[in-house]
Structure 1
């Protein structure tokens, strides 16, 4: 049901504040999203990053041959030949 005494000019004035508030809120959220995504892309490793270049230098042949240097901090486990807990597939 609609109210019998509608005043369009009065209703426009009443809705102006909440509409401006919602528009400002959306603008702030979009600005925050753009800033956040800019930070994500800024800190992402690129092709000139020395760490990513070091990872790219290792070829699949080196992995097969066993010529890859493993850092001392890497977890290692010694496995004896014939260990039933070890599954080796070719």
Structure 2
């Protein structure tokens, strides 16, 4: 996946982004944010950091252990696009 604004999503990343958009995900804080889907940790341990770095989901709130993951405007455009 390329940087923000130029993302080419893999099928896995697109599915993860759809899960975030559907409100099924939580994101843990840290330098490698943990993405949790339907209560289970994502098997792709780098997915949360990758989607945050690409600007597709909002960074985690460091004050919340596992807060809701939120999709950015760029993320919505990628899903529609």
Same-fold call, TM > 0.5?
Answer: no
What is the TM-score of this pair, normalised by structure 1? 0.21
TM-score by length of 2: 0.22
Higher-Rg structure is: 1
Write 1 or 2 for the structure with the bigger share of helix: 1
